[in-house]
Amino acid sequence: MRVFVTGGTGLLGNTVIRQLIEAGDEVVALVRSDPDPAVFDALDVELVHSELVSEDLGSAQSLSDPGQCDPVQSGPDLIDDSIANCDAVIHAAAMIHLGWTQLDQSIHVNEGGTRRIVDACLRHGKKLIWVGSVNTIAVGSPQTLADETTPLEHAGGQVECSYVQSKRKSVAVVRQAVQDGLDAVIVHPGFMLGPWDWKPSSGRMMLEVGKSWKPISPSGGCSLCDSRDVATGTIAALKKSTASGREYILAGHNWTYQRLWTEMATRMGTRPPLRPAGPGLEYLAGLAGDVWTRLSGKEPDVNSAGVTMSGQYHWYTSKRAQQELGYQTRAAEQTLDAAADWIRNRFILPADAAAG
């Protein structure tokens, strides 16, 4: 099978590419520019250099209008041509900003990019695996694990930040295209950790925990999963015969952030947190971030949207994926060990060596 993959320099996309190649599939990967050579080192992958969407926000006009989301294109449409010459598409690229700002940019990239991929898949009759997020569906709680059918308003609902809004608009594009005849499956990963986190993305949390002592952890929880297991589940969604429009949660171990940060700190050689944040501290931290945003014009990672999200319990069950895709999750300890080795060797030890 010849597969077109977006987001190939990211944690999940790069892992998907590695597993596809290992299975004997051909891979065509979309990249904006030449990546670090290490990202695709020793991988037999064909690179297509193109922007998923135009960098000019104005060119997209009204992104909520299906007819007004055509990116500026000069010369041949490399993405359309590549999809035409592949058997299927895995769209894993996305802009992630957990805050109140950059909404237009997030919609432009996430909804606009999804619409471009969807239109090409419809035009050429190709199957699409669209990588969503548990942030586009319901949130769980300490008493209830959310699944694909849990009402969106459950446990207070998701925080309507830029990422959540843009990804929900994106999944709506896919769902509508399914009604129009698109063969598509949607997967919703939980909080992924693992090797090949080149930027890093979710590995930033482990990197920050490893840099210095964090005495207070977030008060909520996440569903920790291994990017390698999610990649396997994503490929299973591609290769198994499933109903078009079917959605799957690919999550894992439902842990509090207190437990997760403790395990991270142990592996990174720092002290574990003393306790989770209380509501007063969370409010003040979020307020401080929002004030800084207004004063500086730049939104920090610690803002009221991100803080509120970290106080929720993004706890899920992957029962449907287990039954229909054969999805499995390895021990959390294996995931944390691999992620810690990756972060330490790629982002900490090189800096230490340079300092020495």
Q: How far apart are CA 263 and CA 256, in angstroms?
A: 11
Q: Given pLDDT bands bounded at 50, 70 and 90, which one contains residue 51?
A: very high
Q: pLDDT (tens digit, 9 = 90+) per residue, 106-165?
A: 999 999 999 999 999 999 999 999 999 999 999 999 999 999 999 999 999 999 999 999
Domain ranges of the chain: 2-348
Q: How far is CA 191 from CA 102, 103, 117, 332, in A?
A: 22, 22, 25, 12
What pLDDT does 348 receive? 86
Q: How far apart are CA 64 and CA 176, in angstroms?
A: 13
Chain mean pLDDT for the chain:
93
What pLDDT does 50 receive? 95
Cα 123-126-128 angle, rounded to 5 deg: 115
- State how far Cα 33 lies from the chain centre: 20
Cis amide bond preceding 218, omega within 30: no
Q: Is the pLDDT of residue 20 over 70?
A: yes
Q: How far is CA 333 from CA 8, 206, 218, 267, 337, in A?
A: 26, 14, 20, 10, 6
What pLDDT does 56 receive? 66
Task: Please enumerate in sequence order all residues whose Cβ is within 8 A of that of 276, keeping only pairs 6 or more positions apart, or say none.
Answer: 216, 217, 218, 219, 256, 257, 258
pTM comes to 0.92
Q: Is the pLDDT of residue 69 over 70?
A: no
How many Cα atoms occupy the beta-carbon half-sphere of 87 within 13 Å?
9
In CATH, the number for domain 2-348 is 3.40.50.720
